[in-house]
Structure 1
Amino acid sequence: MKILLAGDSTVANCPTHEFPMSGWGAHLPPLTYRWGAVHNFAKGGASTESFRDDGLWAALLAEAGEGDAVLIQFGHNDQKKQHLAARTGYAANLRAMVGEVRDRGAAAVLCTSVERRHFLDAPSSDAVLAESLKDYPEVVRELGLELAVPVVDLNAWTRRLYRRLGPDRSRELFCHFGPGEHAHWPGGLADNTHFSQSGAALVAGEVARQLGSLGYGAAGSKELSTTAGRG
């Protein structure tokens, strides 16, 4: 069995010069090696459209076969394009992807986009976590029901994680450096979208846990529940 990943920079194996920035897909193999090899096709800046246009979707499908799982997480870059709005182009592209995965005998697993770390100062002085992805996560949940596809709800999970840690401690999940603190980022960096190594590892752990709840890891079982892993 293979686990194939389609997504953007929050999933991808980031290039060496961006270290310690990391997508969660880079930390998945040690957690799922007993189930099968991870093939990470995710790319920084990718949307549901550019992933196909760049040939990455075709390359992934060429590797997919009976019993494999294809995890799909987009949205961060789709929301930057008007024609890839959540309920139009984005939803249509995800429907097509699910159909093409099924045509190859593989199982599609939709993932809601991990949340960005954007805290707002409420009038009460309590920090409020913004919903930066608007209706994109909800559309994925709706597609899961419509298409009978399991959903790994990383948006809901990361939102709970950030709120539990709060504005200060949650910063450690992302790439924040002062000038001169890191050789790869000499001018400093304050990034609330891309994970640090520790942040990416935490998300990968949750992905592995939810895949386990969907049936992966059970002896001789690759059947996926369409309801486990939500929320």
Structure 2
Amino acid sequence: MTIHLAGDSTVAPTDEGRTSGHAEIPLLGWGDELAALLDVPVRNHAIGGATTASFRAEGRWDALLAELRPGDTVVIQFGHNDQKEPDELAAEGGYSERLARFVGEARANGARPVLATSVERRLFDDAGGLRWSHGPYPAAVRALGHELDVPVLELTAFTRWLYTWLGPEASAALFPHGAAVAAGLVVDDALAKDNTHYTTAGARAVARYVAEALASVDGAHDGEAPLGAWVVQP
């Protein structure tokens, strides 16, 4: 069984430091770290700037389908760039319609589709609150998962919890600008404003959650004996 990933830059492989200008500060998506946390192969088809429309138009979805084998899993996470095209790719319009097609075609090829809500952007306001940056797009994914009986990985909620739990200062280390500052490196204006893309620490944190969520979807540990009767109760 192979896990295939379809998505945008928040899922995509590392840029090996090209964006940050520092080889030691790469920009990468959580998909780049997932294989190290699983004992099954991972094929990361995600690419920066992708929408549910461009991923198909550029032939990336067809390439993914060509590699599918019965029993494979396809994790699908878009939304960051779809919201920039609200006419064609509205949350409850073109975006949901294209996700539904992905789901149907994955199933037709014998694979199991899994939807994921978008990872949140790290946008704290002056009062320290985390802004919501995806509007109705995560809700559209949840609704589609319910409608089509598809598992949904709740990455919006997880990343919102992660950033707020760490706080505005500590959460910066999950992103290239924070890692660069911590290393005493120069941060240009473009990098300083990037609160969307991860460095290795951020990608690994989200990938760890994805790995655990997929294990839960698989029911990997459902047969384990409960330990409640063995521990000392307070």
TM class by smaller structure: 0.7 to 0.9
Q: Which of 1 and 2 has greater Rg?
A: 2
State how far apart, in whole Å, the 2-side matches of 1:218 and 1:159 are.
Answer: 27
State how far apart, in whole Å, the 1-side matches of 2:66 and 2:204 are.
Answer: 28
Matches within 5 A, 1:82-231: 82=86, 83-121=88-126, 126-176=127-177, 177=180, 181-182=184-185, 189-190=191-192, 191-215=194-218, 217=220
Amino acid corresponding to residue 72 of structure 1 in structure 2 = I
Check conservation: 2:15, 2:26, Cα contact below 8 A: no
Q: Name 2:6's counterpart in structure 1.
A: 6
SS at 2:65 equivalent: helix
State how far apart, in whole Å, the 1-side matches of 2:121 and 2:10 are.
Answer: 10
Q: Name 1:64's counterpart in structure 2.
A: 68
Cα RMSD (Å) of the superposition? 2.0
Pick from 14, 27, 33: which aligns with 1:27?
33
Check conservation: 1:65, 1:104, Cα contact below 8 A: yes
In the TM superposition, what is the alpha-carbon distance from 1:115 to its structure 2 partner? 0.1
SS at 1:61 equivalent: helix
In the TM superposition, what is the alpha-carbon distance from 1:172 to its structure 2 partner? 0.7
Check conservation: 1:71, 1:110, Cα contact below 8 A: yes
State how far apart, in whole Å, the 1-side matches of 2:96 and 2:216 are.
Answer: 25
State how far apart, in whole Å, the 1-side matches of 2:118 and 2:168 are.
Answer: 20
Q: TM-score, normalised by structure 1?
A: 0.87
Aligned residues: 212
In the TM superposition, what is the alpha-carbon distance from 1:128 to its structure 2 partner? 1.2
> Which structure dedicates a bigger proportion of its chain to strand?
1
State how far apart, in whole Å, the 2-side matches of 1:168 and 1:196 are.
Answer: 15
In the TM superposition, what is the alpha-carbon distance from 1:189 to its structure 2 partner? 2.0
State how far apart, in whole Å, the 2-side matches of 1:86 and 1:137 are.
Answer: 8
Amino acid corresponding to residue 150 of structure 1 in structure 2 = P
In the TM superposition, what is the alpha-carbon distance from 1:216 to its structure 2 partner? 6.2
Q: Give 4+ residue runs of structure 1 displaced > 4 Å after superposition.
A: 180-183, 185-188, 216-219
User: Which ranges of structure 1 fall in alignment gaps of 5 or more residues?
Assistant: 220-231
State how far apart, in whole Å, the 2-side matches of 1:186 and 1:144 are.
Answer: 40
